[in-house]
Copies of this chain bind each other. A is one copy, B any other.
Amino acid sequence: MSLTVAGSIAFDSVRTPFGERERMLGGSAVHCSLAASFFTDVHVVGPVGSDFGDEHIAVLDGRGIDVSAIERIAGGQTFFWRGHYEYDMNVAHTDDTRLNVFGDFEPKLSNAASEADTLFLANIQPDLQRQVRAQCSAARLAALDSMNLWIETTRDSLVAAIGEVDCVLMNDAEIRELAGQPNLARAARSIMELGPRIVVAKQGEYGAALFTPSGYFALPGFPLEDVRDPTGAGDSFAGGFLGYLDGRAERDGGHLVLDDATLRRAMAHGTVLASYNVEDFGTERVSRLKRSEVESRLAELRSMTEF
C-alpha cells in the first residue's frame, strides 16, 4: 500500500501578523506528503526547477517520502507563490503567482508512483489531474482538491476529473460554488451525483464535514491560541486523511476499508495534521512533528468533541 500525491512543489513567500518568510518550501503536494508520511509510504509527483536544492529534497526525504518522481526541469524555476494574511487568517491574499515549470508540466509517473493504491490529486489544473489519474489506473481510492479558479475557467474539465475520483476534498465555499447551491448538504449531494461517494468540505478554523451515501459527520477545528501561518492547512488535512486510510489498509493486509467509522477516524487524523501545520510557517512545524504528538492531539480532539 502506498499513496501518490500529485500537485505543486513550490517556494512560498508569506507574511502574517506573526512574522514572514522568503522562499520557503511549500506547495500542495509538499504539505500533503509530509502530513501523510506519518501514516503510510508516500510518492510525491511534481516538477521543480534548477533552483530547488538538496536541502529542500532533504525535508521530504527526511520523512521517508519517495522523491524519485519529482521531475527536475533543467534551467527552469520552481513554482512561486507570494501572499499575506491579515488578522483574519481565514483569508489568504495572493500578491504574486508564477507558474514557472508548472506552465509546461506533463506528468510522467514512475512505476512505483503509478502503482499506488491511493491517489491524491492536489489542487492543480483539472486536465493535469486527469492525466495523472489515467496513469494511476490501479488506485482503489482516488481523491481530488480544486479551487474557484478552475470552477470558473475550466469547469467542464473539473467536472470530468471529479467523475473519475472516489472522493472530493474541497473548501466548503468552493463546493457551494461548484454546485451552484448555497446549502452545503445539498451541494455535497450534487457533487456525489457527479461520481464520488465521499465528499469532505473543509471549513478552515471551523473544521470539516464529511458526506457519504450513508451519513454525515462533522469535526470542529482544533482550537489553537497561536496560529502563525495557515498556508497548507487544507493539504495537511488531506494528507492526514488519505495517509491514515492508506496506512490502515496496509495494516489490514491490503484491505481498504471506507466505512463511515473509518472515514471519521481519517477526518480526525486530517484535523490533527492541519492543526500542527498552522502552528508555524510553511512546513516548519510538521517537519519536526513526532508521531507521539499526533496521538496525544487525537486523544485531545476526541475528548473535546464527546458529549
Q: Which of B216, B224, B265, B267 contacts A223 (CB 8 A)?
A: B216
Q: Tell me whether A89 is interfacial, beta carbon within 8 Å.
A: yes
> Interface extent on A, as a size class?
35 or more
Say yes or no: B218 contacts A220, CB within 8 Å: yes
A183: nearest chain-B partner, CB-CB? B225
Q: Bound complex: CA of A189 vs CA of B226, how far in Å?
A: 13
Number of chain copies forming the complex: 2
A205: nearest chain-B partner, CB-CB? B184
Q: Tell me whether A297 is interfacial, beta carbon within 8 Å.
A: no
Q: Tell me whether A24 is interfacial, beta carbon within 8 Å.
A: no
Q: Tell me whether A151 is interfacial, beta carbon within 8 Å.
A: no
When distances are taken between beta carbons in the complex, the residues of chain B under 8 Å from A182 are: 87-89
Q: Tell me whether A197 is interfacial, beta carbon within 8 Å.
A: no
Within the complex, the shortest CB–CB distance from A205 to chain B, in Å, comes to 7
When distances are taken between beta carbons in the complex, the residues of chain B under 8 Å from A221 are: 218
Selecting from A29-37, A58-66, A138-146, A298-306, the interface stretch reads A298-306
Q: Bound complex: CA of A40 vs CA of B42, how far in Å?
A: 56
Within the complex, the shortest CB–CB distance from A300 to chain B, in Å, comes to 9
Q: Tell me whether A203 is interfacial, beta carbon within 8 Å.
A: yes
Among residues 219 to 233 in chain A, which have CB atoms less than 8 Å away from a CB atom of chain B? 219-221, 223-227
Binary per-residue interface labels of chain A (200-219) against chain B in the complex, 1 for a CB within 8 Å, 0 otherwise: 00010111010000011111
For the complex of A and B, 10 pairs with smallest distance between CB atoms: A218-B220, A264-B307, A87-B182, A206-B206, A185-B223, A185-B225, A216-B223, A186-B225, A216-B304, A268-B307
